[in-house]
Structures are given as structure tokens and as C-alpha cells.
Amino acid sequence: MLNVLGFGLKTNSIGASLRWNTKEKQQEFRKYIYNSPAINFGNHLAPVIDN
């Protein structure tokens, strides 16, 4: 999936960084990669500018 920028372990969750962090892309991640309540995408819903 080209939308995943990275991931990391947190204290009680797994943080996933998405290039396009929208609700739709989060649902796509959960459908095609992995669906778990432990996955956290953060609160900032916006594209990451990749220069």
C-alpha cells in the first residue's frame, strides 16, 4: 500500500502514519492490511506533504 509512510510501537498501541490520513484511507488500511483497535492513526486528518 503506497499510502503507508511508517509505523511504530507505542505503550499500548501501534501508531501508523498514512500519507493521506483520511477516514476513508484508514478504513482501507483496516480492510486490506489489518484491522485492530490497537492501531492508532493519530488525530490529524490531512495529507503529508512529501517534497
22-31 pLDDT, tens digit per residue, is 899 999 999 9
| CB of 51 closer than 8 Å to CB of 26 | no
Whose grid coordinates read 509512510? Answer: 5
- 49 falls within a domain: no
**Is pLDDT larger for residue 31 or for residue 4?**
31
Q: How many domains does the chain have?
A: 1
Task: Specify the pLDDT at position 1.
Answer: 59
For the entire predicted model, the pTM comes to 0.75
Phi and psi based region of residue 44 (left: phi greater than 0; alpha: psi -120 to 50; beta: remaining):
beta
What local confidence, expressed as pLDDT, does residue 48 receive?
A: 63
Is 47 domain-assigned? no
The boundaries of the domain holding residue 36 are 4-40
Percentage of the chain exceeding pLDDT 90: 49
